[in-house]
Structure 1
Amino acid sequence: MALYAELHRHLGGSVVPRVLWRYLHRSESDLSARFPDYSEFEDFYTRPRDTLDEYLELHTLVESVQTAETLPYFIYRLMRGAYIFENLAYLELRYTPFLRTDAQLSQSQRIDQMAEIVQIVGEASRVKEYPIVSSQILCMHSRLPYEVNRAIVALAAQSDYVCAIDVAGGDAHYAERLDEFVELYVYARSLNLKTTGHVYETTEGCYPELLPYLMRIGHGIQIPLLQPHLLKEVARRGQCLEVCPTTYLKTGTMKDIRQLKQVFDRCFDAGVDIAICTDNAGLHNVRLPFEYESLLTHDIIGFEELQACQDAAFRHAFAWNYAQRPASMLTSLLKTEVGAI
């Protein structure tokens, strides 16, 4: 039964380790020789890293194999797992389309090819046997030139497969180009694009200058931890934090998941919504229901707070066009059937 909404999942980090390992061996990739045994690959792929930058290097491994030809293979398995094992009714996939284009082409040719990538991802995500409402978030990237990032924003505004834009690539790297990213977000809003952004994930990624342009905040955990005075303004804007619990342990941002209790407590007290997400379910070998269970068993939130976060995920979903979440629809349907007896 599909019940949940996932607002923050990266295409590059969504491939579960066994699917990726099998693909590498079937395609006779150079990496298959490095990891002949699956258990060794799983350990390498999912173990915690010391920093966010080290963690993000794993994305380059997956990006190199997610090409126009192979994306349908990976996305079909992603959607199958999301429906069967995670009970997802709604999924937003985010990625940088430029990084899936042919690296042998010129920059302008790769920019042109981005539209093809977006179409491939969009069509592959619509799987009849696994009916999930899905959409794409296109990510600008801290290590891509301005021209490419601007083209990503323009493409997002032109595609029916896309619901929003984001900026990614490690929030510590925005500082020297902050004015540039502010300009790009202003441009995005002028095109009526919805917006989120990876900010306040780490202690080096605190940029209050970007907050006014975001409709949701990717991670945002350092706001309640380091700058709680901003929560009142976040609540006034109706912004939602996309909190991804396992990520902070995998990137060295937190040493103990219990540190998130202050994040949730302060946000609830300030009236700031939180959507619980996975971020990189494949890299973590973790699915969304586990994130819920982990927060509950560590006494970070209770069942009422979990329900509030699940409701917030649908309320802040960029492409969920219904007034209710699926559980409410089913409840209404059951009441109607009982009344008819």
Structure 2
Amino acid sequence: MALYADLHRHLGGSVVPRVLWRYLQRNDSQLVDQFPGYAEFEDFYTRPRNTLDEYLELHTLVEGVQTVEALPYFIYRLMRGAYIFENLAYLELRYTPYLRTPAHLSQSERIDLMTEIVQVVGQASQLNEYPIVTSQILCMHVRLPYEVNRAIVDLAAHNRDYVCGIDIAGGDNHYGERMEEFVRLYAYARSLGLNTTGHLYETRDGCHAELLPYLMRIGHGIQIPLQQPQLLKQIAEQKQCLEICPTTYLKTGTLDDISQLKHVFDRCFEAGVDMAICTDNAGLHNVRLPFEYENLLTHDVIGFEQLQACQDAAFKHAFAWPYGQRPASLLNGLLHPEISKSVFEKHPASAK
């Protein structure tokens, strides 16, 4: 029975090493020739990097492979693994559609092709054999001009059947010079009624309070409890949720040890700030969501009650989860008919 929700998973970083390797082999990719064998490729693909910028370079490798023709191949395997190995009931996939269009085309041509990318991702994610509720978060990007980022916001607004929100990617340490521009884009997105999250307060150089008022969730946000705990009261009052991705901070050199996250969780729980535990880039890390849970527990970062609170928060703050409770509550209702009747009366959508 699928029980979990992942609110922060990048399409580019979701491809596990073996799946990507097989695709490259079958399509005679020149990338294969750079490695003596799979072991060397996996080591290159999953090893820790020294900085966030170095880490994000790996996304460009996968983005070039995830063409409109190849996306169904990758998404099918992603959904299969998420259902069978991770027990996911809900998944939000985020990516920059512009970066999946052919690089040799003009900017206007690439913008026009973004709609097809969103539709292909949306259709490929709907699998009867792996029934996971899915939706997309479209990412603006620090490397893209204002016109393209605004087109991404418009694309999200016009494709609500497939898209549940927007984000900004590319490294929160690069927002500074364009902060006014990004604030304008987020204000525009909120004016359109779009849900918003954003990579923010992930690194010491990514502490941009100007964006906080426009976000419903905060992508990472760990530097708030670590560096600016005075903001936690405000975060709690605004009912913003932090998307915590434990393995990421070790892979990017942001943290030296997972035990440092204990300060993050303790301070957020004390302040009443919700947190959802996520994978971020499950393929790049070769780590699935249940392992993120287990790793936090075995290193005494959180306890089981805190874990359950984070799992509840994930469904509570999910942009496109259609039911009033998390799946465990619905299952409990099925096992106890008197509870089931009460649940369905309060939340008729869950009876469908």
Q: Is TM-score (shorter-chain normalized) higher than 0.5?
A: yes
1:218 is paired with a residue whose SS is strand
d(CA) in 1 for partners of 2:338, 2:306: 30
C-alpha RMSD of the superposition: 1.2
Match of 1:253 in 2: 254
CA contact under 8 A between 2:247 and 2:285: conserved in structure 1?
A: yes
Please state how far the C-alpha of 1:337 moved relative to its aligned partner.
8.3
Q: What residue identity is the alignment partner of 2:152?
A: I
Residue by residue, what CA displacement relative to the aligned partner does 1:229-260 show, whole Å, maximum 9, x if unpaired?
00000000000000000000000000100000
**TM-score for both structures, normalised by structure 1:** 0.99
Q: What residue identity is the alignment partner of 2:132?
A: I
Q: What residue identity is the alignment partner of 1:104?
A: H
Q: What residue identity is the alignment partner of 1:17?
A: P
After the TM superposition, which residues 22-101 of structure 1 pair with which residues of structure 2 at under 5 Å, given as runs? 22-101=22-101
Q: What residue identity is the alignment partner of 2:116?
A: E
Q: What residue identity is the alignment partner of 1:151?
A: A
Structure 2 unaligned segments of length 5 or more: list them: 342-352
Match of 2:16 in 1: 16
d(CA) in 2 for partners of 1:281, 1:29: 23
Match of 1:235 in 2: 236
d(CA) in 1 for partners of 2:204, 2:127: 40
1:157 aligns with 2:157: yes
Is the alpha carbon distance of 1:229 and 1:338 closer, same or farther for their aligned partners in structure 2, counting shifts above 3 Å? Answer: closer
1:204 is paired with a residue whose SS is helix
Match of 1:277 in 2: 278
d(CA) in 2 for partners of 1:338, 1:48: 47
d(CA) in 1 for partners of 2:285, 2:340: 45
d(CA) in 1 for partners of 2:129, 2:339: 29
CA contact under 8 A between 2:333 and 2:339: conserved in structure 1?
A: no
1:202 aligns with 2:197: no
Please state how far the C-alpha of 1:182 moved relative to its aligned partner.
0.2
d(CA) in 1 for partners of 2:142, 2:127: 32
Match of 1:135 in 2: 135
Residue by residue, what CA displacement relative to the aligned partner does 1:20-46 show, whole Å, maximum 9, x if unpaired?
011111101011111241110000000
1:214 aligns with 2:215: yes
Q: What residue identity is the alignment partner of 1:207?
A: H
Please state how far the C-alpha of 1:131 moved relative to its aligned partner.
0.4
Match of 2:299 in 1: 298
Q: What residue identity is the alignment partner of 1:196?
A: T
d(CA) in 2 for partners of 1:145, 1:36: 39
Residue by residue, what CA displacement relative to the aligned partner does 1:84-123 show, whole Å, maximum 9, x if unpaired?
0000000000000000011111000000000000000000
d(CA) in 2 for partners of 1:295, 1:209: 31
Structure 1 unaligned segments of length 5 or more: list them: none
d(CA) in 2 for partners of 1:66, 1:207: 31
1:194 is paired with a residue whose SS is coil
Is the alpha carbon distance of 1:338 and 1:113 closer, same or farther for their aligned partners in structure 2, counting shifts above 3 Å? Answer: closer
d(CA) in 2 for partners of 1:125, 1:215: 24
CA contact under 8 A between 2:333 and 2:340: conserved in structure 1?
A: no
Please state how far the C-alpha of 1:321 moved relative to its aligned partner.
1.4
Is the alpha carbon distance of 1:339 and 1:240 closer, same or farther for their aligned partners in structure 2, counting shifts above 3 Å? Answer: closer
Match of 1:106 in 2: 106
1:195 is paired with a residue whose SS is coil
**TM-score for both structures, normalised by structure 2:** 0.95
d(CA) in 1 for partners of 2:190, 2:213: 11
Percent of matched pairs sharing the same residue: 79
d(CA) in 2 for partners of 1:31, 1:39: 14
Q: What residue identity is the alignment partner of 1:229?
A: Q
After TM superposition, which residue ranges in structure 1, 4 or more long, deviate above 2 angstroms?
Answer: 337-340
1:182 is paired with a residue whose SS is helix
Match of 1:312 in 2: 313
CA contact under 8 A between 2:24 and 2:32: conserved in structure 1?
A: yes
d(CA) in 1 for partners of 2:163, 2:309: 26
CA contact under 8 A between 2:51 and 2:253: conserved in structure 1?
A: yes
- Tell me the number of residue pairs that the alignment of Structure 1 and Structure 2 aligns: 340
d(CA) in 1 for partners of 2:340, 2:321: 29
d(CA) in 2 for partners of 1:180, 1:320: 31
Is the alpha carbon distance of 1:114 and 1:228 closer, same or farther for their aligned partners in structure 2, counting shifts above 3 Å? Answer: same
d(CA) in 2 for partners of 1:292, 1:339: 28
